Structure 1
Amino acid sequence: MTSTDRCRLPVWLSPASRRSYLAEFISTFFFVFAAVGSTISARMLTPDVTSEASSLVATALAQAFALFVSVYIASDISGGHVNPAVTFGLAVTGHISVPMALLYCIAQLLGATFACFLLWVASAGQAIPTTGIGAEMTGFGGAVVESVITFVLVYTVYEAADPRGGGSGGERRRNGERRVAASLAAALAAGACVLAAGSLTGGSMNPARSFGPAVVSGNFKNQAVYWVGPLVGAALAALLHQMVVFPSPFPAADSNSTSSVTIAV
């Protein structure tokens, strides 16, 4: 460990950082609890959910509502990532340090896993539904779909949350208004993408959303699809936004603190 790393280590474990990790754990827990729980409820009400479009709509709405709340409640504390892919995109563009990004991802994965475990216990051993690709799709095709819908999600929220955008309302919008706009944008984009890709890949867009159910169910089939696709899509969205759409420098922030998460997504 270098002297620089030793100097940064206390920052990663500072009270503000620990609050950020807790916020990511709680918000991801709530999102995955609602997303997976809504799928269980739909399956219990209509056993043959694969032939019912209403179950897809219900799941999309549940995820949209849950994501809006999850992002909003954590945005002022941790940035409201609720998604390892979002954290990865911010790390790629330098808005969050790599060590802190790793700790964010650990908190998110733990939150997702605990949510699924609690659902499994509370539902008296109901099978935890995992995300999976369509029967006629390949892993590559599934990864492409996940990459595209994650790109849409992350790029939408970057545009909504960045104070440099928004035309005449850009920099004049208050922080609270940007929080609502970013949260709502994330919710609407996620709901639309679940409707578009739910029957193809489950519309995950979130490695934690797929990892938690896989751990509890013991079914890790096609897990690579739900890591490679979202990570690539999020990185492309972040790079496009920062290098092409808004190449001007972002307002300076301490890169070693939680305030470096300048775009709340």
Structure 2
Amino acid sequence: MVKFALGSIGDSLSAASLQFYLAEFIATLLFVFAGVGSALAYGKLTSDAALDPAGLVAIAIAHALALFVGVSLAANISGGHLNPAVTFGLAVGGNITIITGLFYWIAQLLGSIVACFLLSFVTGGLAVPTHGVADGLSGLQGVVFEIIITFALVYTVYATAADPKKGSLGTIAPIAIGFIVGANILAAGPFSGGSMNPARSFGPAVVSGDFSQNWIYWVGPLIGGGLAGLIYGDVFIGSHSHEALPASADYA
């Protein structure tokens, strides 16, 4: 069952909570800068605008490595979410309060926006690429793709970081989370774009001014993340009591 906890403004604006938000902002900024930057670099180094297999692999690896580092940087402070879908999935399981989660979202979105504006500036105004479904696919197909791959991501977060029974498995959580993102980009990149992260898609949309398909990268990831939180939190964590927390280093 869903374990949402509202929380309070006082707790969500405490000195410790402000540190959480700053950590999420910085880590998300660094992740998006490297991830979107890898796509810009690929376009700069090739004359063909179409993504080829080598480019897909390079971009997937860049996202996997950047997320591994970003989660590691923020894990001991904010839990290292870097993704509104992860935050939402953890809120479904009662691991973060709704009010604090909303501030996480703001920090993550701002981090992505700033990263994309910085990329536009340092590359001399190169167009920041936005996510969109491939030609011949519908928005619904893109949403289903994003549901599946985001479910895999948030399920991995629960299994390696949020499960109280994880034990020493928690030490490899950032690696596992980075690996599943890289693998999912290889699988979904040519079809839905392989976002899994509303913040990762929102920053480029803001800078480019193109929100035409951005809804896909909110609806799909939030449904996928919520389902993962509901299933893992209810079926596998189950009756293990745990207090709803603003954030914790135990939850990636």
Normalization by structure 2: what TM-score? Answer: 0.93
User: Is the 2:74–2:80 contact (alpha carbons within 8 Å) kept by the matching residues of 1?
Assistant: yes
Mean alpha-carbon deviation: is it higher for 134-143 or for 43-52? 43-52
Q: Following TM superposition, where does structure 1 have runs of at least 4 consecutive aligned residues deviating by more than 2 angstroms? A: 7-10, 162-165, 255-259
Alignment correspondent of 2:160: 160
Alignment correspondent of 2:29: 29
Alignment correspondent of 2:48: 48
- After TM superposition, list the pairs within 5 Å mapping 1:116-155 onto structure 2: 116-155=116-155
Alignment correspondent of 1:100: 100
User: Is the 2:95–2:247 contact (alpha carbons within 8 Å) kept by the matching residues of 1?
Assistant: no
How far apart in 2 are the matches of 1:40 and 1:129? Answer: 7
Alignment correspondent of 2:247: 258
- After TM superposition, list the pairs within 5 Å mapping 1:4-23 onto structure 2: 8-23=8-23
User: Is the 1:113–1:212 contact (alpha carbons within 8 Å) kept by the matching residues of 2?
Assistant: yes
Paired residue type of 2:247: T
Paired residue type of 2:181: A
User: Is the 1:146–1:230 contact (alpha carbons within 8 Å) kept by the matching residues of 2?
Assistant: yes
Kindly state the Cα deviation for residue 248 of structure 1 after the two structures are TM-superposed: 2.7
* 5+ long unaligned stretches in structure 1: none
Count of aligned residue pairs for this structure pair: 247
Alignment correspondent of 1:90: 90
Kindly state the Cα deviation for residue 163 of structure 1 after the two structures are TM-superposed: 4.8
Kindly state the Cα deviation for residue 9 of structure 1 after the two structures are TM-superposed: 2.2
Kindly state the Cα deviation for residue 230 of structure 1 after the two structures are TM-superposed: 0.2
How far apart in 2 are the matches of 1:116 and 1:217? Answer: 9
Pick the structure with greater CA Rg. Answer: 1
2:50 aligned counterpart, secondary structure:
helix
How far apart in 2 are the matches of 1:152 and 1:125? Answer: 35
User: Is the 2:60–2:183 contact (alpha carbons within 8 Å) kept by the matching residues of 1?
Assistant: yes
Kindly state the Cα deviation for residue 93 of structure 1 after the two structures are TM-superposed: 1.8
Kindly state the Cα deviation for residue 41 of structure 1 after the two structures are TM-superposed: 0.2
User: Is the 1:150–1:205 contact (alpha carbons within 8 Å) kept by the matching residues of 2?
Assistant: yes
Alignment CA distance shift 1:243-1:196 (3 Å):
same
User: Is the 1:147–1:230 contact (alpha carbons within 8 Å) kept by the matching residues of 2?
Assistant: yes
User: Is the 2:8–2:99 contact (alpha carbons within 8 Å) kept by the matching residues of 1?
Assistant: no
Which of 209, 215, 219 is equivalent to 1:218? 209
Which of 172, 180, 183 is equivalent to 1:192? 183
User: Is the 1:116–1:128 contact (alpha carbons within 8 Å) kept by the matching residues of 2?
Assistant: yes
Alignment correspondent of 2:3: none
Kindly state the Cα deviation for residue 83 of structure 1 after the two structures are TM-superposed: 0.1
Normalization by structure 1: what TM-score? Answer: 0.89
CA RMSD of aligned residues (A): 1.7
Q: Deviations over 1:106-146 (max 9, x none)?
A: 00000000000000011111000001101100000000000
Kindly state the Cα deviation for residue 158 of structure 1 after the two structures are TM-superposed: 1.1
2:124 aligned counterpart, secondary structure:
coil
2:118 aligned counterpart, secondary structure:
helix
Alignment correspondent of 1:60: 60
User: Is the 2:150–2:224 contact (alpha carbons within 8 Å) kept by the matching residues of 1?
Assistant: yes
Kindly state the Cα deviation for residue 238 of structure 1 after the two structures are TM-superposed: 0.8
